[in-house]
Structure 1
Amino acid sequence: MGLFTIFNVSSSAMAAQTLRLNATASNMANAEAVASSPEQAYKAREPVFAQTLERQGGVGVTTVGVTQSNAPNPAIYQPGNPLADKNGYVYGSNVNPVEEMVNMLSASRAYQTNVQMMDTAKNLALRTLQLGQ
């Protein structure tokens, strides 16, 4: 594995974790959102990643897509809410704030790990160059 391969893998992983953090932030921002029907209610989103192999034109992480949670949206009885349906219910998002906080911590630590890996590779390359002096 060459030096540039290490940088490619780390940078693609950092981009993936950035996307994961953005999806988590969006989910957290919409955790308390309500809608007039379950179809219109916010559904938690999560990116899907896959590894990219050398025979596919590179090495690293690629984003396959973004999925929406299939968890049911809770019905909340609020007859005074202007979004309430004829039965007085509004529908909340299916975001689980505890899961989202865990996702945020995990993505943040994965990002930090890749930064440290790139820094270590850079330091090893610099030390290798200094051997000839």
Structure 2
Amino acid sequence: MTDILRTLSVASSGMQAQAERLRHTSENIANADTPGYRRKTIPFREMVDGGGVEAGRLSLSQAELPRVYDPDHPMADETGHYDGSSVDLVIEIADAREAQRSYEANLRMFDQARKMTDGLLELLRR
């Protein structure tokens, strides 16, 4: 029974980590056109007890921000340039799909472990 509960715990931690990743990806997409915005990324790390994963510390992209030429923009300097965003929508959409698929895989694993637990409890009742 403890293996099934451990499976539930691992799947749950995976869903929580992917939900956190998807939240930051959504923020990146929402701020793709915000001047000076740096892309947020979040690594995963194994939990201390080895029972799943957790979201690590949030980090901001250190890539150089692209210079955008738009002399009419309120943030433009005397040369007509301002710092753009480090968000690439293609990468963010790919990350969002990967997070969604990983979340769904963890959800299926969680559901399967729950069904096994229900079956085991049904056998014990007989």
TM-score (norm 1): 0.87
- SS of aligned partner of 2:73: coil
Corresponding position of 2:102: 110
Give the unaligned 5+ runs of structure 1. Answer: 35-40
When you count helix as a share of all residues, which structure comes out higher? 2
Corresponding position of 1:44: 39
Give, in angstroms, the shift of residue 53 of structure 1. Answer: 4.0
Amino acid at match of 2:4: L
Residue 61 of structure 1, aligned match among 39, 53, 61? 53
Greater alpha carbon shift after TM alignment, 62-71 vs 117-126: 62-71
Give the unaligned 5+ runs of structure 2. Answer: none
- SS of aligned partner of 1:131: helix
Corresponding position of 1:9: 10
Aligned residues: 124
Identity of aligned residues (%): 33
1:91-130 correspondence runs (5 A): 91-130=83-122
RMSD, aligned α-carbons: 1.4
1:36-83 C-alpha deviation (Å, 9 max, x unpaired): xxxxx11101111101142xxx61112220111122211111111111
When you count strand as a share of all residues, which structure comes out higher? 1
State how far apart, in whole Å, the 1-side matches of 2:46 and 2:83 are. 37
- SS of aligned partner of 1:90: strand
